[in-house]
Every structure is written in C-alpha cells, then in structure tokens.
Structure 1
Amino acid sequence: MAELPSNQLCPDEHPFTNTGSDCFGPFLVKHERSTVKRWAAIFTCLTSRAVQLEVIDTMEQDSFVNGIRHFFARREPIKRMWSNNGTNIVAMERELREALQRFNEGEIRDTLSIRGIEWNFHPPHTSHFDA
C-alpha cells in the first residue's frame, strides 16, 4: 500500500482544515403539494473522514455558493479544499477568486471566512483520484 498524502496526516489541525467536496443527487422531495428535485453537497475531512452534508436546490453555481457558505459558517477556517472539475464548482471557485480581487480583503474574511483557501481540482476523468 502506498503512503498516505501529507494532507491526510494532520492530527494537530482542526477538523476540515483539509476538505474534499462533491455534489450528488438528485433526490425527489415533497415541497408543499408538488415534488421537486434537490441535490446535496458533501464535505469530507481528509484527516478524520468526518462528513457534512448540505442540501442544494439546483446544480447551478449560486446554489453551490450558498451550500459552501453554510459549510464555512459551521466549521473552522478551511485551508485547503479538493474537488472535481464540475462546472458549478469551477464557476463558484472563479467567482470567489474574483470577489477577493474586487472587495476589501477584511470584509470578505469577516463575512465569508474564505481568506487563504487553496482550492485544488482533481484531473479530469479521474474518479479514482484521492487527494
């Protein structure tokens, strides 16, 4: 067996310092008198393998942004994230990077807690890839 990557061997850091993320679904959910589709975003701590799920309304960028904001609000500041090259995730990462350039750094840090996050994408078509 190969050695584990260094980002999975950080017992002295807070949970979710190194996080993997992905989206899955859809699930059919009863909303009032109709049935609607909902998806979920999964966030996995790469050290302890703890998991947090966030419900997202659509597979669009805005829904994923809301899910990740909720995740950031509940966890310690995240240092590194890994995800696949899903179009909604790539668009969200680009939007956050551009927001850092447009706005005051202190304002972004205080409202979104995203300062200093290193975002890594798995190579395309590599479902077996582990961060």
Structure 2
Amino acid sequence: MEERQRITPSGDHKVALNALTARVGDELETLARLSTDVQRALSACGVSEGTDAQAIRELQGIDRITQSLEDLGRLMSDISAEIPKDVSLHAETILSRLRLHELIENLDPAHEKNIMPREDDGEIMWL
C-alpha cells in the first residue's frame, strides 16, 4: 500500500499554477490508465461469467470513470496552457492537503514525474 505522508508548510517554495495544472492533467490521465487496467484484470478473472446482469451493469461504471478521468486530464492540460506563467502558489500550502507521497511528488514540478507508460487501450466488453 502507498505510504501516506503529509508535508507541512515550511518554506517559500512556489509552484507555477500552469505547471501544477498540467501535472494534475497528467495524473488524471495516469489514473484513467489504471482504471483501464482494473477493467482488464476483471475481464481476465472471468467476471462476466456467472455474474448477474445487474452487477455487470454496475461494473460498467468503471468505464465511465475511465472516460471521465481521460476527459478531465485533457481539460486540465488545456487549462494549464491558458494560465499566465507568472501566476504561482505556495507549494507547501497546496500540496500539504495530499496524503500520498507519490502523488505529491508527481504534482510538484520541482520533482521528476513518475508517469506510467501508455499501453494499447483495447476495447473491453462485459455485456
């Protein structure tokens, strides 16, 4: 399980808002890929075999989550391009609200991004 670590405001580290929103967009796209992986894993486990139709319909919600995350990722990336480069925030104040250390590092432009490689997104059909 991911280590939970809070950071506390301790300095004057600033983060450019356009860079932060771009990083949020990247993270949303990464989460969309993880959601696709969950769908694939459920399919590989034979979730459609012997599962009632209502449960299958509810599992289809994963696909909506995936599509929403992809859309929100693109939206955040587009928003970041519209934000003036001189607008910044106190990084510690903003990032201290997050619990996951890896997420904090992925969102902070002062750290190198840890982005999962994109794989072929084949179609998943349960119904």
Name the TM tier (shorter chain).
under 0.3
Q: TM-score, normalised by structure 1?
A: 0.27
Q: TM-score, normalised by structure 2?
A: 0.28
Q: Which has the larger radius of gyration?
A: 2
Relative contact order, higher structure (CA 8 A, sep 6+): 2
Decide which structure has greater helix share.
2
